[in-house]
């Protein structure tokens, strides 16, 4: 019985190690087969003033190389020169002019960006795997309590069977009543 438990724990640890190695190596494979897809967003609303503005897709996995194609003033309907704005690699738009007369509260941004397709799936697997490990660690006290209860019952069964065996052979003393 003890050897079965030890074997099970060893196999579980080995499977976890293999899982970690496979997930980590996916990033290496991802870089060699990554496919870029250019996507375009039309008329995303935001400000163009002294406060930086984050594009709505800046946190998506695989987001890269944003380029502003067009800026339109929503209030008066005219296009704003795209030289008035800069966009960082992380998707943050800032006004390129210092003049507060060139600040706008509501504009439409039309922009394109590249998306790495394979990194989306790999990052998703890594995030879920990490979340799964985090969830297990949160429940570790409960799991350990369940293991302790099962082991306690196992020990009681072993002790009872040994007691029964000794009693049946007549080596156990006065031979009192049944339990």
Residues of 134-154 as b/e, b for ≥16 C-beta within 10 angstroms?
A: eeeeeeeeeeeeeeeeeeeee
What tens digit of pLDDT does each residue of 122-155 get? 565 566 665 555 555 566 676 677 777 777 877 8
Domain span including residue 39: 33-120
Say which residues have a Cβ less than 8 Å from residue 52's Cβ, sequence separation at least 6: 92, 93, 94
Percent of the chain whose pLDDT exceeds 90? 8
62 near 117, Cβ under 8 Å?
Answer: yes
Query: What is the pLDDT, as a whole number, of residue 64?
Result: 86
Q: Let me know if residue 81 belongs to a domain.
A: yes
The reply to whether 86 falls in a domain is yes
| Count of structural domains, the chain | 1
Quick check: helix, strand or coil at residue 1? coil
- Residue that wins the pLDDT comparison between 70 and 162: 70
pLDDT score of 158: 82
**Whether pLDDT at 111 is above 90:** yes
What's the whole-number mean pLDDT along residues 55-59? Answer: 87
pLDDT band at 66 (very low <50, low <70, confident <90, very high): very high
Q: Is residue 3 part of a domain?
A: no
Q: What is the mean pLDDT of residues 102-116?
A: 86
- Label residue 65 left, alpha or beta by phi (over 0 means left) and psi (-120 to 50 means alpha): left
Q: For residue 43, is it within any domain? A: yes
Q: Domain for residue 95, yes or no? A: yes
Distance CA 134, CA 142 (A): 14
Q: Do residues 107 and 42 touch, judged by C-beta distance below 8 A? A: no
Whether 94 is in a domain gets the answer yes
**What is the average pLDDT value for the chain, to the nearest integer?**
75
Q: With pLDDT > 70 as the criterion, what percentage of the chain qualifies?
A: 65
57 pLDDT more than 90: no
**49 or 40, which is more confident:** 40
Structural domain includes residue 40: yes
What whole-number distance in Å separates Cα of residue 167 and Cα of residue 177? 10
């Amino acid at each position: 019985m003890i050897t079965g438990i030890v074997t099970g724990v060893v196999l579980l640890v080995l499977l976890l190690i293999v899982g970690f190695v496979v997930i980590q190596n996916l990033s290496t494979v991802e870089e060699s087969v990554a496919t870029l897809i250019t996507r375009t967003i039309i008329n995303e609303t935001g400000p163009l003033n002294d406060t930086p503005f984050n594009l709505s897709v800046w946190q998506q996995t695989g987001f890269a190389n944003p380029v502003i194609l067009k800026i339109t003033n929503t209030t008066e309907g005219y296009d704003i020169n795209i030289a008035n704005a800069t966009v960082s690699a992380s998707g943050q738009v800032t006004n390129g002019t210092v003049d507060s007369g060139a600040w706008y509260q509501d504009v439409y941004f039309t922009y394109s960006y590249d998306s790495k397709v394979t990194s989306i799936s790999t990052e998703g697997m890594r995030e879920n795997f990490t979340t799964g490990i985090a969830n297990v660690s949160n429940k570790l006290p409960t799991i350990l309590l369940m293991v302790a209860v099962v082991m306690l019952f196992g020990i009681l069964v072993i002790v009872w069977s040994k007691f029964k065996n000794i009693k049946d052979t007549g080596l156990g003393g006065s031979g009192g009543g049944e339990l």
